[in-house]
Structure 1
């Protein structure tokens, strides 16, 4: 297991977690993810395994549709670092572009059909 560190662009939202080596990611074609264009983790983390350290008031939340999925972003720089999933509330996917030492542009990826949910 490796301890990974991530943050938004300005650093007001930081997070850490442990996971095996990350070598691939996931794109989703739902209406918000297609616009974000981020490569997300192809694994999910239970809330107790994602350690979030955000400045007070820095982390904002956006919900749409049925409101179950929670899309978080930094109020200062606007970057999306992670979201709570629709299919498994209480579990998170991470923006791989926010994780130190990863190059999401050179990772294999799959497409998840969130548009059809």
Structure 2
């Protein structure tokens, strides 16, 4: 079921809302950046994501082939979302950091379906052999 969630960085300067069906699944990846900062995302169509405040408070980090913009608050350092272009799917996307959703309770967090991907080996269709640390 689609629900509108509000989200923010830690200090609250960056705020967003997104229309999300969390029952459709969330994702965790073992690539270098996702592992180091423990990103937990839910992929959205661009129209389902709205930045409400903080555009001027965001910095941008890119690496590799520079197709994904990892946006983070320049004050508190939290990465509430990222966006980019998927060559494989041929479309623009946004991803909200599930951990930055403000109006979700602990029971809902605990029961979210999670799909794991092996980004470390660029094998995006497969689950890594080990996921407990993600």
> How many residues align structurally?
114
Aligned to 2:71: 72
Measured in 2, the distance between the counterparts of 1:56 and 1:66 equals 24
Aligned to 1:98: 100
User: Structure 2 stretches of 5 or more lacking a match?
Assistant: 123-134
If asked which structure has higher relative contact order (CA below 8 Å, sep 6+), I would say 1
User: Structure 1 stretches of 5 or more lacking a match?
Assistant: none
| Closer/same/farther in 2, CA of residues 37 and 79 from structure 1, 3 Å limit | same
Q: CA RMSD in A?
A: 2.0
**2:32 aligns to what SS in structure 1?**
coil
Larger proportion of helix = 2
User: What's the TM-score, normalizing by structure 2?
Assistant: 0.74
User: What's the TM-score, normalizing by structure 1?
Assistant: 0.83
Measured in 2, the distance between the counterparts of 1:115 and 1:56 equals 30
Q: Which runs of 4+ in 1 moved over 6 A?
A: none
